[in-house]
Chains A and B, each alone.
Chain A
Amino acid sequence: MSDRHPLFKPLIFVGGIVFGFGLGFSHMARPEVVLNFLQFDDLGLPFVMFGAAIVSGIAFALLPRIRDAAPLTGDPYERRLKPFDRNVLVGGAVFGVGWGLSGICPGAAYASLGVGNITILWALAGMFLGAYAQGYWRSRSQARDTAATGAD
């Protein structure tokens, strides 16, 4: 969108830097450390995920009471609520197998590249491939459903 506030992208960029720095500091950018958690050798990981969830949870709860809309977009402050269906379980399970095998998730993979982990490009290539395969299949089945409905 070209009519966005001039500070929109700079703020996203700064937020991303803090976010990535935190992933580096917490060692989540290291697949070994994530795998150590999953194998119960170092239980630190929940402090990262739930620590971040608590901080953002406070903002998600407070901001709607303080202001009606975000200054840079004019969008209302809303929580991140998505409808539940079977896909949440199926997708969560597939993601879980991938995360358990590799020790890396998307945000941590970007930060991992930043800390110098060139090898993580294998994981990033895989993620794009997986997202493409999934999107290709969904776009096709969606087009088929639309065509079927249109024929009625």
Chain B
Amino acid sequence: MVTDPVLLQTAADLFPNGISRYAVGGLLVGLGTVLIYIGTGIPAGASTFLESTLSYVSDQSRFQQYVGSRDWRLVFTAGIILGGLAFAATFQSGLVTSSLYEPGTTGQLYEVAGVTLWMTEVQPWRLFLGGILVGIGTRIGKGCTSGHGVCGVGSASKTSLVGVVTFLTVAIGTAQVVAALGVSP
């Protein structure tokens, strides 16, 4: 056991919400990926959904190459949304409590039909502009945090490791600059 008060204080500063909610959540994200992989052999990433879904409305060759996978990618995304809702209906609503779970203090909570829902306070222009760059970047860069970060790193892919280091470094720099400019939230 770590009992050094200085070490404990440092840990509390670096991890104000502990690490269990992150580690357990990560294990579940991995478990979802593994379930799909065991049954289908597909290492599923989340961002190809953007292009594959555009194939329903656009004839561009870039989107049409995903016609074969667009249906299951839609199902995958519907599952992710429902999984988020299941979390809201259980832990976020206080229906289920666990020592492994630290509730957050960010954003705004509101209730609909007995379910505690959550809304961000990050400004819409940041979400929209950031979203555009995420849409462009993940498609040029062949993956996002789940494709490169989870499946690619899990595959020990050098391409994905380089991709993750690139986007993590740039994202940290960007967030620090944006915060230094006084933009909040």
Contact = CB atoms under 8 A, between A and B. Distances in A.
A88 to B, nearest CB: 5
Contacts of B88: 24, 114-116
Which secondary structure dominates chain B's binding surface? helix
Nearest to B168: A96
Contact of A17 (B25, B83, B92): B83
A49 interface: yes
A73 B39 CA distance: 8
Interface residues on A, range: 35 or more
Given A49-B149, A115-B92, A127 B34 contact: no
B6 interface: no
Contacts of A33: 104, 106
Given A59-B37, A94-B141, A131 B28 contact: no
Contacts of B138: 91, 95, 105-106, 131
Nearest to B150: A52
Interface residues of B, number: 128
Nearest to A135: B62
B180 to A, nearest CB: 10
Given A24-B88, A106-B49, A123-B134, A45 B172 contact: no
B119 A119 contact: yes
B141 A1 contact: no
B162 A88 contact: yes
The 10 closest A-B pairs by CB, nearest first: A16-B79, A91-B141, A26-B25, A114-B84, A130-B135, A126-B131, A20-B83, A116-B117, A102-B130, A51-B26
